[in-house]
């Protein structure tokens, strides 16, 4: 019986975290900082691309890019106290009471949207080979519903010869961290903890409770935890798609979507919420662009054909993905319409693309919506100069350091990211830089005041600005 094995083993004292990335590192540091636990190993493959992290972490230095408040100090503290060390020797897993896996699960490619679990399965096999009775295994990676009780459980059992739920505890506790707030998120967010059985859920709760400050453990089954994680991002993507579609409607009806948003949002009262998000040039990142497809695969695999749904209709959530992925195309069409009004064809035109990262005031470029937009313009023979104050480089895409380098002689200026710097651009200065009587300006993130630009002779287009997009050109 698992409860007997856990009783024999006693409370969790020694922990392992596999995958020293932006999820594993803060998790390991927080476990190590808890007086409840005795020792934490961070496991990192000594691979050419990330083996360097091992030495860095053992010096108490964080290999993560960008600001992570408190992380470096915490790593210094726990390494100095010899409560945390990093190793590539996976055989040391056998010394542990609990091990978590925070290994990335990217999609193989954008087309078939099949997740690449190879790195995660390699980590799982390492655990299986070193598993002993009474241990707890927790998957933190974002995974397709059905993975914990499916391929993960099977791999652990076949590698170890032990049985999940009888000899060892197995659970899924999805990460909910945002870069820039890693430690705070782990301490303050509620933690979904889903075991393959009650005993596993309880054991996993013992592991996470000590690191939570304001957050609480929310227990459920492993599969419910997998669905919670993927669906919480699916719903955010859906909310964004809902207001993106409304923005397109408002453009077609000649009204300002932001007036409508303010109006709808004014409906207040107990339990009344419309959770209106913001329309924009598209949805990027590695969460919202993927998690819907994890959820969809989950219901196909686990649902085993028992799903009762509208015959022949696409999933609402996949349709939401398609609407959000349409927004860069809409930006492309707005640009071409405006160029046409300026008497220009895209061929040979110069476009200043402002914003390459997928998120405002961030350097994160994963799945940026700016990329399909740039590709479409280049296919039309336009020249695209990309500027982004946070992004220094991107494979195959030259990024100019100064906005002037992008805007000089440009036929169109197009805003894709809501970076602070783009909030108060100097319109007359920009117009002079273009050297055009009627330069185009396309605002993908509601950063600009349309009348300022229209009054200067710009040809303006804005997402959701049906009230301005057909404006008369001012000479
Ligand atoms: N976006 C919009 N309109 C909005 C909000 C976002 O177009 O109203 C776009 C952004 O420009 C970006 C994309 O959507 O291109 C994603 O933005 P995001 O704010 O959702 O940021 P992410 O992708 O980093 O999402 C993360 C997720 N966190 C985790 O997975 C742990 C998500 O669950 C969080 O809700 C989100 O951060 C957050 O709220 O900050």
pLDDT digits (tens, 9 = 90+) for 200-242: 999 999 999 999 999 999 999 999 999 999 999 999 999 999 9
Q: Is there a single domain that holds both residue 128 and residue 192?
A: yes
Of the three residues 215, 241, 276, the one that is the final residue of a domain is: 215
Q: Is there a single domain that holds both residue 337 and residue 190?
A: no
Q: Is there a single domain that holds both residue 181 and residue 263?
A: no
Cα(135)–Cα(127) distance, rounded to whole angstroms?
A: 10
Of the three residues 182, 215, 248, the one that is the final residue of a domain is: 215
Q: State which of 22, 143, 183, 240 you would mutate to test the pocket of ligand 1, scoring each by most atoms of that ligand within 8 A of its C-beta.
A: 240
Q: Is there a single domain that holds both residue 132 and residue 254?
A: no
Q: State which of 105, 142, 178, 444 you would mutate to test the pocket of ligand 1, scoring each by most atoms of that ligand within 8 A of its C-beta.
A: 178
Q: Is there a single domain that holds both residue 157 and residue 258?
A: no
Q: Is there a single domain that holds both residue 208 and residue 250?
A: no
Q: Is there a single domain that holds both residue 206 and residue 228?
A: no
pTM: 0.94
Of the three residues 215, 232, 249, the one that is the final residue of a domain is: 215
Q: Is there a single domain that holds both residue 111 and residue 249?
A: no
Q: Is there a single domain that holds both residue 229 and residue 202?
A: no
pLDDT at 305 over 90: no
Q: Which residues pair with 458 in a beta bridge?
A: none
Q: What pLDDT shows up at residue 424?
A: 87
Q: Is there a single domain that holds both residue 132 and residue 176?
A: yes
pLDDT at 113 over 80: no
> 141 falls in which pLDDT band (50, 70, 90)?
very high
- Between the CA of 388 and the centroid of ligand 1 the distance, in Å, is 19
Burial 295-323 (b: 16+ CB within 10 A, else e): bbbbbeebeeeeeeeeeeeebebeebbeb
Q: Pairing between strand 412-415 and 440-443?
A: parallel
Which residues are identified as catalytic? 229, 287
Range of the domain at 107: 2-215
Provide residues with CB under 6 Å of ligand 1. 176-178, 232-233, 236, 240, 277-278, 280, 283-285, 287-288, 358-359
Q: Is there a single domain that holds both residue 246 and residue 201?
A: no
- Between the CA of 439 and the centroid of ligand 1 the distance, in Å, is 32
Tokens of 21: 């990335």
pLDDT digits (tens, 9 = 90+) for 130-140: 999 999 999 99
The CATH number that applies at residue 129 is: 3.40.50.720
Which residue CA neighbors atom 37 of ligand 1 most closely? Answer: 178
Q: What pLDDT shows up at residue 110?
A: 65
Q: How many domains does the chain have?
A: 2
Closest by CA position to 140, among listed 127, 158, 157, 131? 127
Q: Is there a single domain that holds both residue 184 and residue 263?
A: no
pLDDT at 319 over 70: yes
3-state SS of 321-362 is: HHHHHHHHHHHHHHHHHHHHHCCCCCCCCEEEEECCCCCCCC
């Amino acid at each position: 019986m698992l409860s007997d094995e856990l009783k024999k083993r006693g409370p969790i004292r020694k922990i392992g975290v596999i995958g020293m990335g932006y999820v594993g590192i803060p998790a390991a540091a927080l476990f190590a900082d808890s007086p409840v636990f005795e020792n934490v190993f961070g496991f990192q493959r000594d691979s050419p691309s990330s083996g360097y992290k091992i030495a860095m972490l053992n010096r108490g230095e964080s290999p993560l890019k960008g600001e992570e408040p408190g992380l470096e100090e915490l790593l210094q503290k726990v390494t100095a106290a010899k409560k945390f060390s990093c190793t590539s020797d996976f055989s040391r897993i056998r010394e542990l009471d609990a091990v978590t896996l925070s290994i990335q699960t990217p999609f193989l490619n954008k087309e078939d949207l099949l997740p690449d679990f190879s790195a995660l399965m390699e980590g799982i096999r390492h655990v299986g080979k070193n598993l002993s009775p009474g241990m707890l295994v927790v998957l933190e990676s974002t995974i397709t519903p059905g993975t914990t009780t499916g391929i993960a459980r099977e791999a652990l059992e076949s590698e170890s010869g032990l049985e999940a739920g009888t000899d060892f505890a197995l659970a899924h506790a999805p990460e909910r961290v945002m870069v820039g707030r890693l430690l705070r998120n782990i301490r303050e967010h509620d933690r979904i903890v889903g075991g393959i059985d009650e005993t596993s859920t309880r054991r996993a709760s013992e592991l996470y409770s000590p690191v939570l400050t304001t957050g609480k453990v929310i227990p459920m089954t492993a599969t419910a935890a997998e669905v919670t994680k993927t669906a919480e991002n699916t719903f955010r993507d859906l909310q964004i798609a809902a207001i993106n579609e409304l923005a397109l409607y408002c453009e077609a009806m000649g009204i300002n979507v932001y007036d409508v948003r303010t109006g709808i949002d004014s409906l207040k009262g107990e339990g009344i919420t419309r959770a209106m998000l913001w329309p924009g040039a598209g949805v990027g990142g590695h969460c919202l662009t993927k998690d819907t497809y994890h959820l969809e695969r989950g219901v196909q695999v686990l649902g085993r054909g028992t799903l009762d749904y509208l015959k022949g209709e696409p999933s609402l959530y996949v349709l939401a993905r398609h609407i959000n992925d349409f927004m860069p195309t809409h930006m492309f069409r707005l640009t071409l319409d405006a160029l046409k009004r300026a008497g220009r064809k895209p061929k040979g035109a110069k476009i200043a693309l402002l914003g390459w990262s997928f998120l405002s005031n961030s350097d994160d470029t994963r799945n940026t919506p700016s990329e399909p937009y740039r590709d479409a313009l280049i296919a039309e023979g336009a020249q695209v100069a990309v500027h982004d104050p946070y992004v220094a480089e991107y494979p195959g895409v030259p990024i100019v350091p100064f906005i002037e380098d992008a805007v000089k002689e440009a036929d169109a200026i197009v805003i894709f990211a809501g970076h602070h710097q783009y909030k108060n651009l100097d319109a007359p200065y920009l117009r002079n830089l273009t050297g055009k009587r009627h330069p185009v300006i396309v605002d993908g993130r509601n950063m600009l005041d349309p009348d300022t630009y229209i009054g200067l002779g710009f040809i303006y287009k804005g997402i959701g600005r049906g009230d301005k997009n057909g404006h008369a050109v001012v000479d």
